[in-house]
Structure 1
Amino acid sequence: MKKSVLRSFGLLGLLLFFPLFLFTFSDPYFIEKSAKAFIEWKLKSETNKKIDSIQLPQSKSIEKFLRHRVNKIRQETEQKLEILKKQLKNDAPKIIVTQLAKMRDLSCKCREKWKERLRSFLIFKIDSLEKARERLADFAQAKYMEIVEKLTLDVRIFLGTNSLIFLFLLLASFLRPKTIDHLFLPALLMLVSTIVCAYFYLFEQNWFYTIIYNNYTGFGYIAYLVIVFAILCDIVFNKAKVTTKVINWLLNAIGTTFSVASC
């Protein structure tokens, strides 16, 4: 019974994550289409950050020498810059909506060579409000594609890693049939992970993509999977010696007299 339950769970996990992993390659726009709301939110956030980062160039040596004369001019220019940035922020929503419509057209040539364009906008200079609007539109296009590419890669890593863990769990149940009790620990950890991810995807989709996209939380999830993988390696290659101690410690902590033995 235990073997059937464990193997069924391993198989179901594999059937859930692996086909989705393959589907991201058969339909490379699948993630982009399913994460529309997240990409739009992220693009707005990145655009506002870019506008906030616009600053006057650092003073040249001649300006430093004549600091007392140019200081007043610089203050006036900074005030004008703040007004310009405020106008840009007011215009940004319309610009983003227009660029989103273009970028979501998968046949649009604007989706090509975005890396070069993004690189050229790392330094965002303002000559005039009209020029700034044009550059902001180009920045939005390039940033959109950067977000899509990074999100696609991160989701593939997420799906691929989960597929490998479930595959290893399934194989371990056949390679080490005597360790079924031990295998329930990594299976439980993967069950919790799968339920949490499923909940976020179904009811809090933006949070799901944020967790995957964000480096810190993404690395935290990878670390979690590494722990599960290490437990599986201990069971398969080390006769579950470490896992046995962990399980027995947990059982003692909850006050039960039941224990498992290493094999």
Structure 2
Amino acid sequence: MGQRFAFSVTDFNIALGFVTAESARSHDYLNSCCDFSADFEPVSLYRSWTQNSSLRYNPSTSKDTYIVDAALKCVHRFLAYSFSGRKDSASVLSKAEFFFLWCMSRSIKVNLGCWLATQFGSVAANKRPLILGSLITHLAVQLHLISLEAHDLHLACEMQPLDMTCLLGMGLVGQHNGEFHFCPPGPLVPRKARVVHDRGATSSDSPSPTSSFDEDTARSTTVRLRRLEQRLSRMEKNLMAYFHHVGFTPHTPPSP
């Protein structure tokens, strides 16, 4: 939204939810790795993990395919997708991803916010897609850029509740004399026939096909109009909240 933010590494970690203000003062956090360790030797480590002394590690071409431990390969694919933002060539083992795996295997803590800040710099410089997936939403909420209460500004975000109205319409539940019951397994009864049966009608007092159709259509139309009215009201409320957030006051016509 045109806003610029400047954070320390600690503030960035807190905004992403990696640490709390209290844990940011702990010994583990203050001594977490912000750079490659001198003990990290990728060439010999790659040969050890692949159990192949003829392979030589190259951060641009070496892949996790040859790593024997399946768990390490699975974790690396997650890192490649979420940390590096690679959808293609996810098997390529970059030096940073390799270092993270090494730290995990040796229980060494890394300052993830510091590493991600470097990644974000690369995203901005090279115009790469945003990384981190859902953590982007979490970061936007922490920076008060969006509100989770205004998440369904589009009808596609609307979820239909699985209530009795839905179950009745699907023919899974019936209603007789004001009481609900589960419909027995078998072929589904046509909706018009379900309406007649659920009202307790017999063959002698069954309404004519025309009256049954008209009444069923009116009921269905009423339910749909009510749902549409609720959706429009919710959309109007969310749009007004969004306009208020960005400092825009729309012109609203007077109520009839």
Structure in which a larger fraction of residues adopt helix: 1
Q: Shared topology, TM-score over 0.5?
A: no
Tell me the TM-score range normalised by the shorter chain.
Answer: under 0.3
TM-score w.r.t. structure 1 length? 0.24
Task: Select the structure with the greater relative contact order (CA < 8 A; seq sep ≥ 6).
Answer: 1
